[in-house]
Amino acid sequence: MSAEAKPPGKLLFGTAGIPSFLKNVSTSQAIETIAQLGLDCFEIELVKSHWLNSQAAEEINRTAKKHGIKLSLHASYFINLNSPDKGKRLASMERLLSAVRWAEKCGAESVVFHCGYYGQSSPQEAFRQIKSALQEIVSIIKIENSPVILRPETMGRRSQFGTLEEILFLCREVEGLQPCLDFSHIHAREGKVNSYAEFQRLLLKVKKKLGPEILQHLHLHLAGVLYNEQGEIKHINLEESDFRFDEWIQALQDLNVGGTVICESPDQSYDALLLQKLYQGEWRAEEKRFFEAHFKPE
């Protein structure tokens, strides 16, 4: 490394779940591959089903510690803290609490979750309902002495609770919450926030609302995204999307942002490496071809 080389980055890069080019492997084996690829973090996906058991959790914990891979966990998609049905609200709270307990067993530092849908309620009513559910959950987590941080995510569809403002306001109102900023969702929701200046403005807003330290440990999601007037349609790979990820990386770098970047593209390990190399200033043409030859699915 030359004397002018950048100091080691403060941003960690990793994948949402098992990289798609790996077939029939356990999460613990996937974490080994993440380490071999030179990535730094991994988000355990409990999104569609609850597949974890104690043995798997211990294995994940051990493997991640051995390789120095930082873990987070994404809670079930079947959470709606604003459901008009009280039973569904309680079941949602139970799912979120269960995710926190499993995260602790796995050694994951935070749990990312989707708050829910507006349904028939106004944004204000939805906010009140979600806030009160989260206050209860946080008080239980506190009693259990859990070190896990709860992170409500900014959402991509307009029917979903979770504009940037709503998430920041929640984090101000409920003690202990920190945001998961999904920039693809933020972009897809309004079709905006896709330039260096807008990324910077957004990050400075987060700093203003949640304090300067927040930029040192952000949890970020990124993927390419297809969208229409209703917002997000689906995730695609970064290079196939209109997302200006090079400007995004530059904005994070210039504001000295630290924390975790979790890549959620269909080919999530390729995109995580792409972002990591851009961040480290090492994405050369021959390296790009190497990764394309080895890690791009047919």
Question: Would you tell me which residues interact with Zn ion (CB under 5 A)?
Answer: 153
Cα separation values, 200 from 115, 205, 254, Å: 26, 9, 9
Closer Cβ to Zn ion, 153 or 271, answer by number: 153
Closest distance to Zn ion from the beta carbon of 13 (Å): 17
Closest distance to Zn ion from the beta carbon of 14 (Å): 15
Beta strands in 123-197 (DSSP E): 149-152, 180-182
3-class DSSP state of 63: helix
Cα separation values, 195 from 134, 201, 275, Å: 33, 10, 16
Distance CA 282, CA 38 (A): 13
Closer Cβ to Zn ion, 107 or 156, answer by number: 156
Closest distance to Zn ion from the beta carbon of 57 (Å): 21
Distance CA 113, CA 177 (A): 11
Comparing every residue's Cβ against Zn ion, the nearest one is: 153
Distance CA 111, CA 81 (A): 15
Residue in the block written with tokens 């927040």 = 214
Distance CA 114, CA 175 (A): 18
Closest distance to Zn ion from the beta carbon of 202 (Å): 18
Closer Cβ to Zn ion, 109 or 153, answer by number: 153
Closer Cβ to Zn ion, 202 or 277, answer by number: 202
Closer Cβ to Zn ion, 104 or 153, answer by number: 153
Closer Cβ to Zn ion, 161 or 277, answer by number: 161
**Helix axes 86-106 and 54-67, enclosed angle (nearest 10):** 50
Closest distance to Zn ion from the beta carbon of 153 (Å): 5
Closest distance to Zn ion from the beta carbon of 276 (Å): 21
Closer Cβ to Zn ion, 45 or 63, answer by number: 45
The phi, psi pair for 21, rounded to 5°, reads -80, -10
Closest distance to Zn ion from the beta carbon of 112 (Å): 6
Distance CA 253, CA 147 (A): 28
3-class DSSP state of 121: coil
Tokens of 191: 């079709």
